[in-house]
Structure 1
Amino acid sequence: MTNLNPMVNRIASISNLDLVAVATERLISRVDGLPGMGVIYGEAGRGKTIACTALANQSRGYYVQMRSAWNRKALLEKIQFEMGIKPAGTIAHMLDVICEQLAASRRPLIIDEFDFCLRSDGMVELVRDIYEGSQGTLLLVGEEMLPQKLKKWERFHSRVMAWIPALPVSVADAAKLAPIYCPNVAISADLLAHIVELAHGSVRRVSVNLTLIHEQAMMQAETEMTLAKWGDNALYTGEAPKRRAA
């Protein structure tokens, strides 16, 4: 059974968080002259965003999540906002200010949903300019094909020191997530293994199912839940419901 501890951290130290933290520390403490960019990639739902926001809090990094409608100016404004700097001036001026802040602070810049940048050569080159101008630590987060897509920009691709694949969720990860999404309910090992199998690697699906188990346990006034107790109750798989026959 998982440990019952209501006073738990709201961010679980799952494998991907540890992986990202170690890689970031390597980048920050790298020898002068070595590349300083890392790429975190993987399928949707594997907890990349959760890991990176937790890392930003731990390392006092600057975290920005890209939007599909952003242009170069919007990205620079959002980065400056995260830095606590009032955006002003031309694109070139904002770029210089950001580079100076990254170089002085030695904090990492994390750009999530980086795939949106790949729609424009100008956006990719802007992020490379941020790196070249600061020689700081940049973490770029995207989907599973991001490393292959970046090969189009060789001058960018060659500056990536760490390629970090997001790991599929494990039973050990699920056990760490359980106190957060299913508090005060002990979950048996067989039920944890079952929801991990259904998740197909997705941290998000495990989290959703832990919440469903918690709701059911509260309705039944249960303080523990096993696979046998859960029975035939539905669990979330991410698949669209099948059309019923008329």
Structure 2
Amino acid sequence: MSVSKIIPLTNVGLLAGAIERAMQRPLGLPGLVVMYGPSGLGKSVAAACSANQHRAYYVECRDTWTKKAFLLAVLREMAVTPARTLSEMVDQVAEQLSRSGRPLIVDDVQYLLEKSAANVLTDIYNASQGTIVLIGEENVATSLARLERLHNRVLEWVPAQAATLADVTRLAASSYPNLQIADDLLADLVKHVKGCLRRAAVNLYRVNSECTAKALGKIDLATWTAGWFTGEPPRRGAK
């Protein structure tokens, strides 16, 4: 996974710093980093940026994945031809992590933690002693607590933070550099999306589209009349 530009958002910095500390940890310390939080806070954006910064292997889990499906996806990312058995595949992944010194980022890890497939993460870590980054939703912390062998290998927990005004300002400037969006409009947006970076991005797109249609180069709160998309469906008009 890649992104064309790294924007210094809060969660990007938090995750990048945690991965750097894990990669530089003293011998004998565990090497798991866990970022968790509600959907929409920009965890996957942080993962993509960190994958670029640290040349990490990156996989995004799916609900239907088994142990074999997960291992095949990791080996595909590593450009390694899979062996025939699961045990051999675990050894292949572990060897590649050890030899390369590169981190492994596992996004949407909740899909693995809810199944017996979670044990394969412990096996990979034990065999490689590498840096493994787990990213998932809010319940990931609780799920890991039930998996003692994996839980006690966590070096650092990184709770994902809600988007701030500074985050949305940076996102707007990077995504739409030719449009001047006033601080009062951005502050109102942050208040209405309640820190959800994904919805902030959707609304910034709407603002840019509206301004492009009206040939506007700048906009403020007084000028913006379209309201905000907050995820709620529109109400039907009274008959």
Give, in angstroms, the shift of residue 239 of structure 1.
Answer: 1.4
1:211 maps to 2:201: no
The residue that corresponds to 2:166 in the other structure is 172
Render the CA deviation track for 1:192-245: whole Å, top value 9, x for unaligned. Answer: 101111111111011111111101111111111100111x21321111222433
- 1:161 equivalent in alignment to 2:155: yes
1:88-119 deviations in Å (ceiling 9; x for gaps): 31111111011000011111100001000122
Asked if the contact 1:182–1:213 (Cα under 8 Å) also holds between the matched residues in 2, the reply is no
The one-letter code matched in structure 2 to 1:245 is: A
Q: What secondary structure is seen at the aligned counterpart in 1 of 2:222? A: helix
What SS class does the counterpart of residue 228 from structure 1 fall into? coil
Partner of 1:108: 103
- Corresponding residue number in structure 1 for 2:227: 234
CA distance in 1 between counterparts of 2:199 and 2:192 reads 8
On the 8 A contact 1:183/1:214 being kept in 2, the answer is no
> How far apart, CA to CA, are the structure 2 residues paired with 1:14 and 1:24?
16
2:217 pairs with 1:223: yes
Using the alignment, how far apart are the partners of 1:145 and 1:244 within structure 2? 38
Equivalent residue letter for 2:209: E
Say whether the 8 Å CA contact 1:111–1:141 is kept in structure 2.
yes
Q: 1:146 aligns with which of 140, 146, 149?
A: 140
Residues 189 and 200 of structure 2 are in contact (CA less than 8 Å); yes or no, is this contact kept in structure 1?
yes
The reply to whether residue 202 of structure 1 matches residue 196 of structure 2 is yes
Question: What is the alpha-carbon distance in structure 2 between the residues aligned to residue 166 and residue 119 of structure 1?
Answer: 20
Q: Secondary structure at the match of 1:229?
A: coil
Q: Which runs of 5+ in 1 are unaligned?
A: 1-8
TM-score when normalising by structure 2: 0.95
SS in 2 for 1:215: helix
The alignment partner of 2:230 has SS state of coil
Residues 161-199 of structure 1 deviation map (CA, whole Å, 9 limit, x = unaligned): 110011100110011100333331001010010111111
Percent identical residues: 41
Separation of aligned partners in 2, 1:51 and 1:34? 24
Aligned-partner Cα distance in 2 for 1:184–1:109: 37
> Which residue of the partner structure matches residue 4 of structure 1?
none
Tell me what 2:75 maps to.
80
- Structure 2: distance between partners of 1:98 and 1:198: 44
Kindly indicate whether structure 1 or structure 2 has the higher relative contact order, using CA contacts under 8 Å at least 6 residues apart: 1
Q: Gaps spanning 5+ residues in structure 2: where?
A: none
- Alignment partner for residue 24 of structure 2, among 26, 29, 52? 29
Distance in 1 of aligned mates of 2:172 and 2:38: 22
What number of residue pairs does the alignment pair up? 236
Deviation per residue, 1:44-80 (Å, 9 max, x gap): 0000001101110111000000011111111001000
1:238 is aligned with what amino acid?
G
Residue identity in the other structure for 1:141: I
* C-alpha RMSD of matched pairs (Å): 1.2
- In 2, the alpha carbon distance for the partners of 1:79 and 1:59 equals 16
